Chain A
């Protein structure tokens, strides 16, 4: 922590200055990210963020925390005990609303043998749980939240940050990958109980290596189901991805061309699964084919 109460770090392509004096937030941040992301090299920052107590009574009485992005507060206050999830969600907000040099898909992205797998996020997909599981079976994490496509080249740009797990997914991943580094459980957040899985060392070490997209797999978790992988029509994949994108309409023709290129160059599937091990095995088979 530098004098003045901030740390500068790089996450993927973004330089971030985080201002905070909340020790519990810093403990969780360093516990999950270590020091590898910290940098003294930045002179310009993509985002200036802060997590601070509000002025007034709620600084001490049922204490709260506020997220600041370039001096503005886009969210209502959170309980101070939820400061770390607030930071993570705040950074997601910053990227989703500002990083328009990329075509932004709401998806997880992982890489195996120099080929990238895109898992678009839809309600009930189990995307984050599947993403955490794959990461602990040798896939490099590019991102759990953002498929960042560089329009000029079609490459996927890494942004390996912690993976938030909700409610029973926390235990699912503890059982599936006992070696996973999990942060504290934050009970009763707006999304239920939340805990974060640290990116693997390899994922963080290679966060400046883009990847070429090879597969688009739309996952859907169905309790008790088997595991099936079915092809998806190219036009349907295009429509689903365009709806899934954070900034498709904002980018207009650039996004259209980017997604046409992306869909044209990838195999496309729908994955329905009822247990994690089968889904992981299915993705392993895809990578080996």
Chain B
């Protein structure tokens, strides 16, 4: 049962976007990526997976399933429930840093 005022989603269909619109500056280094957020003024050092999730979201809103599928192709990984949960965890961590936000 959805909490009052909160929209429920079929599993892994929740859509995500970059927080604050065009707010990120990303720089890929040899092994990591630094990201500056105009929204918060903070700088973050990200490893390859979360950096790629951010890059995909800069192209437009995507659902968890869409992200997992695209990341699966890139990483040559089978998209199973474990992989979907990993992508969701990455999104939660990025949300905690105010880098991404759910669309609704």
Instruction: Give A contacts to B, CB under 8 Å.
Output: 233-235, 238-239, 242, 248-249, 252-253, 256-257, 260
Closest beta carbon of chain B to A178's beta carbon, Å: 44
Mark B42-75 against chain A: 1 for CB-CB distance below 8 A, else 0.
0101000000000000000000000000000000
Instruction: A234-B30, A235-B32, A249-B41 are known; give 5 further A-B pairs, CB within 8 A.
Output: A238-B27, A239-B34, A239-B45, A252-B36, A256-B43
Interchain CA distance A242-B38 in the complex, whole Å: 16
Interchain CA distance A282-B99 in the complex, whole Å: 43
Give the A-B pair count, Cβ closer than 8 A.
34
Looking at A234, A235, A239, which has the most chain B CB atoms within 10 Å of its CB? A235
CB atoms of B43 and A235 under 8 A apart: no
CB atoms of A253 and B29 under 8 A apart: no
Instruction: Give B contacts to A, CB under 8 Å.
Output: 25, 27, 29-34, 36, 38, 41, 43, 45
Interchain CA distance A233-B25 in the complex, whole Å: 20
With contacts A235-B32, A238-B34, A260-B34 known, is A252 near B27, CB below 8 A? no
Q: Give chain A residues whose Cβ lies under 8 Å from the Cβ of B29.
A: 233-235, 238
With contacts A233-B29, A235-B29, A260-B27 known, is A252 near B41, CB below 8 A? yes
Q: Give chain A residues whose Cβ lies under 8 Å from the Cβ of B31.
A: 233, 235
Interchain CA distance A251-B11 in the complex, whole Å: 42
CB atoms of B36 and A253 under 8 A apart: yes
Closest beta carbon of chain B to A244's beta carbon, Å: 13
Q: Give chain B residues whose Cβ lies under 8 Å from the Cβ of A239.
A: 34, 45
With contacts A256-B25, A257-B25 known, is A235 near B36, CB below 8 A? no
CB atoms of A242 and B43 under 8 A apart: yes
Interchain CA distance A234-B30 in the complex, whole Å: 7
Interchain CA distance A248-B45 in the complex, whole Å: 15
Q: Show 28 residue pairs from A and B whose CB-CB distance is below 8 angstroms, ordered by the A residue.
A: A233-B29, A233-B30, A233-B31, A233-B32, A234-B29, A234-B30, A235-B30, A235-B31, A235-B33, A235-B34, A235-B45, A238-B27, A238-B29, A238-B34, A239-B34, A239-B45, A242-B43, A248-B43, A249-B41, A252-B36, A252-B38, A253-B25, A253-B38, A256-B25, A256-B36, A256-B43, A257-B25, A260-B27
Interchain CA distance A154-B29 in the complex, whole Å: 19
Q: Which 7 A-B pairs have the closest CB atoms?
A: A235-B29, A235-B32, A256-B36, A234-B29, A260-B27, A252-B41, A234-B30
Closest beta carbon of chain A to B25's beta carbon, Å: 6
Closest Cβ neighbor of A256 among chain B residues: B36
